[in-house]
Amino acid sequence: MRNKEIADIFSEMAQLIEIEDEPNARFKIRAYQKAALTISTLQEDVEDLYEKGGPKALMELPGIGQALAEKIVEYLKTGKIKKFEQMKKEYPVDFKNLTRVSGLGPKKAFRLYKELKVRDLEDLKNALEKHKIQGLEGFGTRSEEQFKKGLIMLEGQKGRILLGDGLPAAESIVGKLNKSGLVEEAMVAGSARRMRETVGDLDILVLSSKGEKVMDFFVKLPEVSDIVVRGPTKTTVMLRIGVTCDLRVIEPNSFGAAVQYFTGSKDHNVQVRTIAIGMGYKLNEYGLFDRKGKLVSARSEHDIYKKLGMEWMPPEMREARGEVKLAQQGKLPKLVELAEVKGDMHTHTVETDGANTIEEMVEEARRIGHKYIATTNHTKSLQIAKGMNEKGFERYFKKVDALNRRLDGKFRVFKGAEVDVLKDGSLDLDDKCLKSMDWVVASVHMNYNMEKDAMTKRIVKALDSGLVNVMGHPTGRELLVREQYAVDLDKVFEAAERNGVALEINANPQRMDLNDTNIMAASKYKVRFALGTDAHRTFHMRFMRYGVGTARRGWLGPDRIINTMELRKVEGLISR
């Protein structure tokens, strides 16, 4: 996968073009930036795409035309892009890192290079220590302060964080704002509202007429480590968890427009705005306006979309993946909702590496409102997790049987395991033991670094065993930690379809696996899905919202998800 390398080069080229200052440079810059965004968010491997469809396939990507396609091909073939190499020779400056300093963009960085020979962060630090910058025209002591602060912040920055960390942080701040008595309403917007699996910053909107007071309250919250920008309507702070958080104070009359605008995604908004323009309107964060600049709509998202001839769509869909067209045709799919989930199909207990007993897990599941869970402990090969052997499961299931009797049909624990798929594709328990179970999750936990073909065969063999109910976290990735293993997912989906095996949507915020685009790809096959939190302690079962968010981002409805079914139906399905 070389997408990231190419995307990085294009964004660096955008910065290099910016300092050249030719007349139409700013559009060229935007073109390079857009291309970088397209490639960095692409699910497919650019190299695969090129091998299968040639330069034409590349040119079908949004923002990639002839010239950029040629540059991609050049990079794939030679590992270099000549124009980029030339530019770098001419400007031997680490713009990529320098511009990560808040307040320092390409233009200022270039001037620091021209006048002070600042080439990288180290040089910048030295120049700051010697107070060389404040002497330059257009720079002052405050610029030095700003860059110093920017450098410190950069060191403490984590970049993107898990939705599972970001969303609760944002919600906690929203809760405090709501209780402050200063706002009429506060809400989370941005990528967290869209339930993106990782978030680079947090966006919070508030409806209030007391802007200054709200900002005062906000910057003094204990979560805040630094103030980046402070204004009456927009304030940006750095949070202790390592991401920035924007707070915007909105006028009551434009709240809907602001919510729509700041929820994004950017690409979705571009499409919606284009439609507005086509209808003779103008759409921005303040509202929808007609040709004369008269406000047409702004109070609610629903109304704005309606005025544009579209259905309102859930934030999770707003990624410019065709939802705009469907909304215009009134053909948006119905998405699964958290309230429709009736059970958790992947949980662990103290018998292996969990922290709670099955009784405690059941108690919490019932509190959540579930009607059933599957208890799916690890198997013997996974020694690090105290995986159980056949005897262990036999003993454990007796306990579960007794518990089920006590529950008397009011709740059901499905007896299962998260059985390891071994290197050769065999399963980590004997057939008799597996056949005694209601729900078998097959997962890969070891030998991640196999060749794509071997890994695909390994998984397909496991699914062909006829002993598996669901493929657990099918790509094996851990967000921000480990890439997915090499595997031909189409072949896995085919095997799942052939064997009636469901695909897991692992709701654990560190996994989210399958992810949104994989779910879309898998939906083309006749397969079912199963949501599981992979809970290792009671409160992990609350992660279900992230799985549901991911399913919704994959445009999945309740009908294809096993654990939206009533208990009796699931029992019927499993006994087959």
Partner DNA sequence: GCCGTTTTCGGCCCGACTGTTTTCAGTCG
CB of 279 to DNA, least distance (A): 9
Nearest residue (CB) to DNA, 32 versus 397: 32
**Binding track, positions 175-204, relative to DNA; x by CB under 7 A:** --------------------------x-x-
Among 1, 4, 5, 30, binds DNA (CB under 7 A): 30
The answer to whether 443 and 421 have CB atoms below 8 angstroms apart is yes
Binding of DNA by 236 (CB under 7 A): yes
Please report the beta strands in 88-208, taking only residues with DSSP state E, as ranges in sequence order.
161-162, 185-189, 198-199, 201-207
Using CB under 7 A, which residues numbered 256 to 275 contact DNA? 270, 273
**Binding track, positions 99-138, relative to DNA; x by CB under 7 A:** x-xxxxxxxxx------------------------x--xx
Rounded CA-CA distance 129/152 in Å is 13
Among 37, 40, 42, 63, binds DNA (CB under 7 A): 63
Angle at 122 between CA 3 and CA 115, to 5 degrees: 100
Give the other-Cβ count within 10 Å of 244's Cβ. 18
Residues in the chain: 576
DSSP run (H or E) holding 269: helix 266-278
Nearest residue (CB) to DNA, 159 versus 175: 159
Binding of DNA by 466 (CB under 7 A): no
Using CB under 7 A, which residues numbered 283 to 302 contact DNA? 284-286
Stretch that binds DNA, among 154-162, 279-287, 422-430, 440-448 (CB under 7 A): 279-287
DSSP run (H or E) holding 116: helix 106-116
Binding of DNA by 96 (CB under 7 A): no
CB of 334 to DNA, least distance (A): 26
Binding of DNA by 28 (CB under 7 A): yes
The answer to whether 74 and 80 have CB atoms below 8 angstroms apart is yes
CB of 505 to DNA, least distance (A): 29
SS3 content of the chain, % helix, strand, coil (to 5): 50, 15, 35
Among 232, 369, 466, 572, binds DNA (CB under 7 A): 232
Residue type, 341: V
Binding of DNA by 500 (CB under 7 A): no
Among 135, 278, 309, 369, binds DNA (CB under 7 A): 278
CB of 28 to DNA, least distance (A): 5
Per-residue DSSP letter, 279: T
Nearest residue (CB) to DNA, 201 versus 344: 201
The answer to whether 247 and 204 have CB atoms below 8 angstroms apart is yes
Among 165, 246, 323, 516, binds DNA (CB under 7 A): 246
The per-residue DSSP string of 485-523 comes to PP--HHHHHHHHHHHT-EEEEE--TTT-BS-HHHHHHHH
Give me 376's structure tokens: 């799916």
**Could you give the C-alpha distances from 47 to 42, 145, 376, 442, 479, in angstroms and in order?**
12, 44, 38, 30, 23
Nearest residue (CB) to DNA, 200 versus 500: 200
Nearest residue (CB) to DNA, 104 versus 471: 104
Binding of DNA by 242 (CB under 7 A): no
The per-residue DSSP string of 522-542 comes to HHTSS--EEEE--BSSGGGGG
**Binding track, positions 74-93, relative to DNA; x by CB under 7 A:** ---------x----------
The answer to whether 521 and 553 have CB atoms below 8 angstroms apart is no
Residues 6+ apart with CB under 8 A from 265: 191, 194, 318, 319, 320
Nearest residue (CB) to DNA, 146 versus 538: 146
Stretch that binds DNA, among 232-240, 436-444, 455-463, 471-479 (CB under 7 A): 232-240
Nearest residue (CB) to DNA, 79 versus 138: 138
Nearest residue (CB) to DNA, 213 versus 282: 282
- Residues forming contacts to DNA in the complex (CB under 7 A) are 18, 24, 27-28, 30-32, 34-35, 59, 62-69, 83, 99, 101-109, 134, 137-143, 145-146, 201, 203, 229-234, 236, 244, 246, 270, 273, 277-278, 282, 284-286
